[in-house]
Structure 1
Amino acid sequence: MLDLDDATLEKHSVTLAGHRTSISLERGFWRHLRRLADEEGLAINELVRLIDEARTGSLSGALRAYVLQNLERDLAKLHA
């Protein structure tokens, strides 16, 4: 009935400020981050770096918020 495979946490390594770090996010968030990076013509590391520089809270929370804000923006465009 419900397909919750996208809720499975996946850990990915990225390089921030010259250091490797691991980020755990749900599979669905990684998929949308890759799509958003592609749309911006950026590598996923570069998009994560930009979000990391702009964040005030946790990196994983900032990444989720970025995805959510973009999905909401896209949805609003559909209903405009």
Structure 2
Amino acid sequence: MKKRSVLIAGHPTSVSLEEEFWEALKGLAQARGMSVNALIEEIDSTRSGNLSSAIRVHVLNAVQGRG
């Protein structure tokens, strides 16, 4: 698992994600024509709990066709 720095609303934070989730997140962002940071900001705006977990759930839901 790798820790990556991201910007959310102009504030730096870090998320720890497995490489497979990071690659899937990048693919989702690209498919939607947005940056990874923009997608993470969107996920952050609706999350409850840990950001890394919210990203994993978002990716899982997208892969399963629920997001």
The TM-score range, normalised by the shorter chain, is: over 0.9
Aligned position for 2:44? 52
Higher RCO (Cα < 8 Å, 6 or more apart): 2
Identity percentage over the alignment? 44
Q: Find runs of 4+ consecutive structure 1 residues off by over 3 angstroms.
A: none
Q: 1 or 2, which has the higher helix percentage?
A: 1
| Amino acid in the other structure paired with 1:10 | K
Unpaired runs of at least 5, structure 2: none
| Amino acid in the other structure paired with 1:55 | R
Unpaired runs of at least 5, structure 1: 1-8, 75-80
Number of residue equivalences: 66
Q: CA RMSD in A?
A: 1.2
Tell me the TM-score normalised to structure 1 length. Answer: 0.78
